[in-house]
Chain A
Amino acid sequence: MEKQIDLAALPTPVNILWENILMIPLFGMLDSKRSQEVLETMLQKVIDTGAKVIVLDILGVLTVDSAVANHLIKITRATQLMGCQCIVSGISPEVAQTMVNLGIDLEKVQTTSTLRNALEISFEMLGLEIRKFK
């Protein structure tokens, strides 16, 4: 008998991408309960690690409507108050279209389509550069 995995019951994974850069991948639905849990986890991690940047990857979030957008805005504002910049990555063309067509405004939240772009921006924010050694 197959066991249904309840994504909402799984704890929010927090990845350390680099010193001071955390990454949190979100999957499935981002409802109020989940959003609150993500927020609490993030703020705790900021305190624990002193992270300066958190990348919130929403590639796995299926629906991005105004409710989800508001959760994202709230999360980014809260982490900013704690001295941590939040970048939302994983905005696909379809999500970008939906958001603009629905008139959803993410205000000042920085967004990217790929995790790589978000990482580049994070490095820039921290004054880091990548150099190839011979």
Chain B
Amino acid sequence: MNTETALENIGMYVDRGCLVVPIQIELDDDTASKLQDEILQRIAGTRSKGLIIDLTAVAVLDTYLARLLFNTLKMAGLMGARAVITGLRPGVAVALIDLGFEPGEAATALTLEGGFEIVAPPIARVSEPGGDEPEPAVDGREPKEVTDPGDGSLHGL
């Protein structure tokens, strides 16, 4: 499978102002690196305020790829997007820790929804064109206070 087809198959999409990247295929180093480029370009292009990398479908993850994905969170952060990794399977998490992987300050959540709670865009008080009144939250939901303890993981309840 060449890189272009692989990237197309990733199927990232934007929901509630956040770029969601569900990893559902095996990534070789080259494709992974291109994926990182693609994610960051998309964030710039769509002006997403959030990034969610979902690993629910990932059964095997080596430290190189894990490091690359967690680094992508940091890069998105520098670009002003809140970023989180969701759905890391317990077996994969244990294997990574055993291999000496350190997530650092990366935010994580158990589920995709938990991820949205972390990265849901802050209350933006700018009316959409054509709107009559300013919405309390850009996506129409009530704003929620979610704090990231900053200890590396936030397991959604």
If A106-B78, A120-B124 touch, does A114 touch B131 (CB 8 Å cutoff)?
A: no
Task: Name A124's contact: one of B43, B71, B77, B122 (CB within 8 Å).
Answer: B122
Within 8 A of A (CB), among B42-89: 43-44, 47, 49, 71, 74-81
Give every chain A residue within 8 A of B47 (Cβ-Cβ): 113-114, 116-117
Within 8 A of B (CB), among A85-125: 89, 91-93, 95-97, 99-101, 106, 111-114, 116-118, 120, 123-124
Q: Which of A93, A111, A117, A130 has the most CB of B within 10 A?
A: A93
Give every chain A residue within 8 A of B127 (Cβ-Cβ): 130-132
- Asked whether A100 lies within 8 Å of B80 as measured between CB atoms, the reply is no
Q: Binary interface profile of B, 76-109, with partner A (CB < 8 Å = 1, else 0)?
A: 1111110000000000000000000000000000
Give every chain A residue within 8 A of B43 (Cβ-Cβ): 93, 113
Would you call A129 an interface residue if the criterion is a C-beta within 8 Å of the partner chain's C-beta atoms? yes
Which partner residue on chain A sits nearest B37 by CB separation? Answer: A93
Task: Name B79's contact: one of A91, A124, A131 (CB within 8 Å).
Answer: A91
Give every chain A residue within 8 A of B132 (Cβ-Cβ): 134
- Asked whether B78 lies within 8 Å of A100 as measured between CB atoms, the reply is yes
Task: Name A120's contact: one of B74, B126, B134 (CB within 8 Å).
Answer: B126
- Asked whether A96 lies within 8 Å of B79 as measured between CB atoms, the reply is yes
- Asked whether B134 lies within 8 Å of A97 as measured between CB atoms, the reply is no
- Asked whether B44 lies within 8 Å of A92 as measured between CB atoms, the reply is yes
Q: How many Å from the CB of B45 to the closest CB on chain A?
A: 10
- Asked whether A113 lies within 8 Å of B134 as measured between CB atoms, the reply is no
Which partner residue on chain B sits nearest A97 by CB separation? Answer: B75
Which partner residue on chain B sits nearest A93 by CB separation? Answer: B40
Q: How many Å from the CB of B114 to the closest CB on chain A?
A: 24
Task: Name B41's contact: one of A93, A100, A101, A118 (CB within 8 Å).
Answer: A93
- In the bound complex, what is the Cα–Cα distance between A116 and B46 (angstroms)? 13
If A92-B44, A106-B78, A112-B80 touch, does A100 touch B71 (CB 8 Å cutoff)?
A: yes
- In the bound complex, what is the Cα–Cα distance between A89 and B78 (angstroms)? 9
- In the bound complex, what is the Cα–Cα distance between A120 and B125 (angstroms)? 8
Contacts A113-B79, A124-B125, A132-B130 supplied; 4 other A-B pairs, CB < 8 Å:
A92-B79, A93-B37, A124-B123, A124-B124
Q: List 5 A-B contacts (CB under 8 A).
A: A101-B71, A106-B78, A111-B77, A130-B127, A132-B131
